[in-house]
Structure 1
Amino acid sequence: MSPYVTALLVYSIFLMAIGWWTSRSVRRAEDFFVAGRRLSPALLFGTLLAANLGAGSTVGATGLGYTHGFSAWWWVGSAGIGSLILGLTVGPRMWRVAKEQNLYTVGDYLEHRYSRGVRGLIAVLLWFGSLAILAGQLIPLAWILNLVLGIPKYVACLAGGAVVVVYFTFGGLTSTARVNMVQLVVKLSGFILAFLLIVSGAGLLSGAGGAPTDFENWFGDDPSRIWGYFIVLVPAFIISPGLLQKIYGARDARAVRQGVCTNAVALMLFAFIPALLGMAAFHAFPSLDSPDLALPRLLMDALPFWIGGLTLAAVFSAEISSADAVLFMLTTSLSRDLYQTYIEPGASEQRMLAVSRITAVVAGLAGVVLAAVLPDVITALTIFYSILSVALFVPLIAGLYSTRPNANGALATIAGSVLVMILVHLWSNGGGLAGISPATWGIGTAVVIMALHMMSRRGTEPAG
């Protein structure tokens, strides 16, 4: 058996064992959904950063570095900027509302602030988007297992998905927060060591011809692409249900500010690593079949086993930690926003625990199927972040800071913005109009509709 296979197998069993061990303390729905609202700044930081350093931040961003060079920083850097805004503004405010109203999900907040109809519409949109991003976390897992084991992509997706589903199903956010701390130590250690070894030795960042124009430029060869990252990712990381629902689990507002802001700074610093690793991979392997292979190939073929194996485990950690964050978002939304809201409003806590665990298994299988079909990581993630930013950002922020918006205004904003995004996408074949991406058109439409709606209503005191 390959030493890489042995390392990943032992590591996977260890993570599932942690999930089982922590599940013994999960007795109530509150423990599963919001970890009993006991997360310290350190645990919140760990579970957020582990979730954020996933497929897009590692395999995807390295692939962007392989294709576009240093400007790949903006993919992860934009997420860090959004997270910083979240920690300083929206996060503490949302935590206070969630604590006062005993909210578990963003859907709970939307029903509290607007109506059940708004909750249902957002839930449906995010279910489809969340399946895409879950698939986006499983795709690089499949590439890793394909390289190490030589197994087909769909089998690799199923194997990676099984690890995530098992430890998440045991204990929800309670087990996820603990597992994420282990994953975070492994992934940061692996990536930092690999990065230092590559930039200090063997000349992998220099001496190769054929690099694209502006490969070392901060804004790359197409500034509009950077703007596209910024306009989609910054809002998405301010209002992502997967992140906000982890924030609900914080023990107080101070823990929110400290945990989220530390996570944001770490993201902006980490953003340099995949960009530079992608550039190194291009110089070492300029003819890869897929940019998503850049990171796994670099780790297996350009580094000694002791560091390549550790970093391969770090990549594996990155993908499954983000996958569990998406599974958390999907499971809590389906069980709360669909089952408890429309099917069995009086469900007991034990019943909700059972439904949540069944939902996790079903959602995980759906993500595996989609991962076997979608072509690459960035495609999958862009689908989710576009839907998230366009549909949710303006209604959530407007409702959090003003009492002017009502349910009708929120519904009009959501429907109008998503419709415009879809029409622009279809009309331009995804390329945008007048140099502006479909998602940017959608967000702009949302701002205009909500502004007109708020101007038509007399304002009162800020909500929340």
Structure 2
Amino acid sequence: MTNIDFIIFAVYFFVLISIGVLGVVKAKSSKKYMLADSNLGVFMLFGCLTAVFLGGSSTIGSSQLGYEIGFSGFWFVFALGAGITIFGLLFLSRILNMEIITINELLYKLFGSKVRIIGAIVTAIYTLMISVTQVIAIGSLVSVIFHWDMEVAILVGGSVVFIYTILGGMWTLSITDFIQFSVMTIGMFFIMLPVSVHSVGGFEELFSSLPSSHLSFTNIGMNEIFNYFITYTLGVMVGQDIWQRFFTGKTKRIAKTSGVLVGIYSALYSIIMVIIGMCAYILFPNIQNTQNVFTHMAFETLQPGLLGIVFAALAAAIMSTASGTLLASSTIISNDILKPFFFKNINDDRFLLLTRLTTLCLAIIAIIIAISIKQVLVAIDIAYAILTGAIFMPVILGLFIKWITERAAFLAILVSIITVFLSLIIVGPSSNVTIIYAIVLNTITLLGVSYYDNHLAKKKNNF
């Protein structure tokens, strides 16, 4: 990297922190801090929704999959975008009518306080773990760019993200995420893709040089594709970070339209990142660590100045997810655990301060965890397994079946968590059946225990 690339990167970080400082003035209420006053239009909300789910794993992971398996890698990111679109079209209206700000408030309205607590613990751990993986990713990027030790890179990169999140909350994130969405789009669609394709001699040369397996969308098998949709589509549909972004829309129509646009964008983004990975396969067929495909391609093909923009785009993808998941975790803990059980009569000013302090504490914890492990582990898959297996069915069935009982929901979540951990021990973290086991047992417990509880209640009433 040249001086101009370093300057671009440094200026980008400075702008983000400056917006965070401005957010202290703007975010004067808890609603504005958590939901940006629910005042975003279509294009702004679309950009924010896209930025929060397209993180480091989506960008680096998709190019890695393109390098390893070709077009079959498309399904990873597309499954995430599809979950957002489906949620927006099928479930958003019903949830918005309930006037809630967290998924656990919904669980409370459906099933009571015990389910709210266990749901809050599951979702808070999930969002925090996702934030940790993104801090590691931004640390890895900063380490490569500035040749710093990983600990220092994580501390600096993570601090930049968390400072503007802590200061301005969702108001800041709405501005920074839209900026990051714009930088991502420019960097990937208009710089990285054309340069990569040009480097291999054009699309015709690319496709003729690849093995036939790389040109198939189903090369990984239908079981693996199905697993992507079970894991990521269902997981995104019950993700607090996604719900919280939807709630910032000005109207239901705006939120739904934004959700559809996210699905379209996710398909385009996935294809582009996979093609970049396939270009790297042609140019550099002997890359040992395929997680470095994207950065290797950028270093080898981009000119000074463009390299700084593309790395800023990669940083944008990572930071937007890190900030969104951190705020989601903070919102869950402050709104679903601290406020209802420890600070019942707190006024809005003090609640805003409490939320900021919670965000600060979680940011410190995230950085400490990231520094201690320094690499993205299978923990992210475990987090998705727990979230999807435990929360998805109680939320969906609870919305449409009125006779589901509180005891059934609590036991279903507990059974799913135990199932996930037992499955991980017995069949390993790479198994595709873990989430399926959890969802099936969750559903059986929900319906079976509810039927028994209602049957017992009828007997008592008869007496």
TM over 0.5: yes
Equivalent residues of 2:102, 2:240 under 8 A apart:
yes
1:197 corresponds to: 195
> 1:321-340 to 2 correspondence within 5 Å?
321-340=320-339
Worse-superposed segment, 276-285 or 403-412: 276-285
Match of 1:452 in 2: 448
1:127 to 119, 124, 127: 124
Structure-2 change in CA distance of 1:375 and 1:167 (3 Å): closer
Aligned partner of 2:54 in structure 1 is 53
1:437 aligns with 2:433: yes
Partner of 1:314: 313
Number of the residue aligned with 2:105 = 108
Q: Contact 1:281 / 1:298 at 8 angstroms: preserved in 2?
A: yes
* Equivalent residue, structure 2, for 1:417: 416
Question: 2:5 touches 2:305 (CA, 8 Å); kept in 1?
Answer: no
Cα contact 1:404–1:454 (8 A) shared by 2: yes
Distance 1:212 1:420 in 2: 40
- What SS class does the counterpart of residue 452 from structure 1 fall into? helix
Indicate the residue corresponding to 1:251 in structure 2. Answer: 250
1:57–1:356 distance in 2 versus 1, CA, 3 Å? same
Aligned to 2:458: none
Matches within 5 A, 1:61-460: 61-98=62-99, 103-193=100-190, 194-203=192-201, 214-374=213-373, 376-377=375-376, 379-432=378-431, 436-456=432-452
406-415 or 205-214: which moved more?
205-214
Cα distance 1:5–1:204, how it changes in 2: closer, same or farther (>3 A)? Answer: farther
The one-letter amino acid of 1:244's match is: W
User: Does structure 2 retain, via aligned residues, the 8 Å contact 1:292–1:376?
Assistant: no
For 2:398 and 2:216, locate their aligned partners in 1 and report how far apart those are by CA, in whole Å: 39
Following superposition, the deviation at residue 234 of structure 1 comes to 0.9
Structure-1 residue corresponding to 2:29: 28
Whichever residue aligns with residue 202 of structure 1, its letter is: V
Partner of residue 459, structure 2: none
What residue in structure 2 maps to residue 42 of structure 1? 43
Partner SS state of residue 403, structure 1 = coil
- Counterpart contact for 1:22–1:174, Cα < 8 Å: yes
TM-score, length basis structure 2: 0.91
Tell me which moved more, 182-191 or 240-249: 240-249
1:462 maps to what in 2?
none
The question of whether the paired residues in 2 share the 8 Å contact of 1:50 and 1:184 is answered with yes
Q: Which amino acid aligns with 2:90?
A: T
* Partner Cα separation in structure 1 for residue 419 and residue 451 of structure 2: 22
Given that 1:278 and 1:294 are in contact with CA atoms closer than 8 Å, whether structure 2 keeps it comes out as yes
**After superposition, what is the alpha-carbon deviation per residue over 1:301-323, rounded to whole angstroms, capped at 9, x for unaligned?**
22222332211110010100011
Question: CA 1:341–1:322 in 2, change beyond 3 Å: closer, same or farther?
Answer: same
SS at match of 1:97: coil
The aligned amino acid for 1:31 is K
Measure how far apart 1:183 and its partner are. 0.9
Distance 1:281 1:185 in 2: 24
CA distance in 2, matches of 1:457, 1:261: 40
**Contact 2:29 2:348 (C-alpha < 8 Å) held by counterparts:** yes
2:237 aligned partner, one-letter code: I
Aligned mates of 2:369, 2:405 — CA distance in 1: 36
Whole-Å separation in 2 of the counterparts to 1:437 and 1:367:
29
Report SS of the residue matched to 2:299. helix
Q: Is the 8 A contact 1:154 1:368 kept in 2?
A: no
Equivalent residue letter for 2:261: T
Maintained 8 Å contact 2:184/2:316: yes
Secondary structure of 2:97's match? helix
Residues in 2 aligned to 1:215 and 1:375: alpha-carbon distance in whole angstroms: 31
Q: Distance in 2 between matches of 1:76 and 1:419?
A: 28
Quick one: distance in 1 between partners of 2:374 and 2:75?
A: 22
For 2:147, the aligned partner's letter is G
Query: Whole-Å Cα distance in 2 between the matches of residues 234 and 70 of structure 1?
Result: 19
> TM-score, normalising length from structure 1?
0.91
Residue type at the aligned position of 2:355:
S
Q: Provide, for residues 162-214 of structure 1, a one-character-per-residue CA deviation record: whole Å limited to 9, x for no partner.
A: 11111111221111111111111111011002112212343487679998882
Going from structure 1 to structure 2, the CA distance change for 1:387 and 1:437 (only over 3 Å counts) comes to same
1:22 alignment partner, SS class: helix
CA distance in 1, matches of 2:200, 2:304: 16
Distance 2:139 2:105 in 1: 34
**Residue aligned with 1:215, SS:** helix
In structure 2, the CA distance between the partners of 1:203 and 1:458, relative to structure 1 (3 Å rule), is: farther
CA 224–211 in structure 1, closer or farther in 2 if over 3 Å, else same: farther
Which secondary structure does the structure 1 equivalent of 2:43 belong to? helix
Moved more, 4-13 or 287-296: 287-296
Tell me which moved more, 62-71 or 226-235: 62-71
CA distance in 2, matches of 1:19, 1:329: 17
Rounded Cα–Cα distance in structure 1 between residues aligned with 2:26 and 2:376 = 35
Question: Which of 1 and 2 has greater Rg?
Answer: 2
- Aligned residues between the structures: 452
Q: Report SS of the residue matched to 1:251.
A: coil
Give, in whole Å, the separation in 2 of the partners of 1:409 and 1:212: 51
Among all aligned residue pairs of Structure 1 and Structure 2, give the percentage whose two residues are the same amino acid.
Answer: 23
Q: 2:36 corresponds to which letter in structure 1?
A: A
Instruction: Tell me the CA shift for residue 456 of structure 1.
Output: 4.9
**CA, structure 1 residues 18+90, in 2 after alignment: closer, same or farther (shift >3 Å)?**
same
Provide the aligned C-alpha RMSD in A.
2.4
Is the Cα contact below 8 Å between 1:12 and 1:163 reproduced in 2? yes
Relative distance call for 1:367 and 1:304 in structure 2 (3 A) is same
Distance 1:273 1:88 in 2: 26
Q: Kindly tell me: are residues 375 and 71 of structure 1, through their superposed partners in 2, closer, same or farther at Cα, counting changes over 3 Å?
A: farther
- Measured in 1, the distance between the counterparts of 2:254 and 2:434 equals 36
Q: 1:328-387 deviations in whole A, cap 9, x for unaligned?
A: 111101111221122211122121111211221221222223333446547343232222
What residue ranges of structure 1 are gaps of 5+ in the alignment? 460-464
Change (3 A) 1:299 1:141: same
